[in-house]
Structure 1
Amino acid sequence: MADRAESRDLRDRVNDRSDAQAEWDESLRQIQFIFVAILFPLVGRLMGRGAALKIFTRMAVRYALMTKH
């Protein structure tokens, strides 16, 4: 009888760990989705706008210098 109870208890603990691991894996997938779907495009857009502004400023300054002479 005691062996069955210990075996059942061990199985329950293993199942609990499996459930906790599955929940952890799901949480990691959700965090990865947030990065891939929201943060990376947002950061890329902001960096792209900054780069475009720098390029535009350089070209505007060059054009202004060329038209002065």
Structure 2
Amino acid sequence: MSITTVGLDADDTLWHNETIFRLTHARFVDLLADHGDEATIEARLAETEQRNLRLYGYGVKGFTLSM
């Protein structure tokens, strides 16, 4: 069976969490700034999150463990 439909939840309760996510993401990049440039850190985090998606799922748990 193939996926034919994808649904997105645009619930306004998530917008506050997006701000916190962005701040945490920026702080993570700042913490690693001595070890690489922003683009490299961003790319490695994205790769790690993608690789861990099947293990941890999508959300704060996966994001935190991937960091």
TM superposition score normalised by structure 2: 0.35
TM superposition score normalised by structure 1: 0.34
User: Larger % of helix: which?
Assistant: 1
The structure with higher relative contact order (CA 8 Å, sep 6+) is: 2
